[in-house]
Amino acid sequence: MPNITIEGPEIKDIETKRQLVKEITDVVEKVYKFPREAYVVVIKENSGENVGVGGELVVDKFKEKT
């Protein structure tokens, strides 16, 4: 059973999450050719306060510079 984990920023809209899971499943089903029921997709959401890029927290890196 293939497991797919997507890590990224929070997705607040449930419809967007549904679309993401469906489209990921569509692609891996096409490639692996297993039935849809074989795939597990997990969305791991991380706030910008918990992720650092280039030595800076994302929340700081992408805030408006004044």
DSSP 64: P
Report the alpha-carbon distance of residue 59 to residue 23 in Å, rounded: 28
Tokens representing residue 28 in the block: 């891996």
Q: What is the structure's pLDDT at 62?
A: 78
Residue 64 has pLDDT above 70, yes or no: no
Q: What is the mean pLDDT of the chain?
A: 93
For 3-61, CATH gives: 3.30.429.10
Tokens representing residue 58 in the block: 């994302």
Tell whether the torsion through CA atoms of 61, 46, 20 and 35 is positive or negative.
positive
Report the alpha-carbon distance of residue 66 to residue 62 in Å, rounded: 12
**pLDDT confidence band for 1 (50 / 70 / 90):** confident
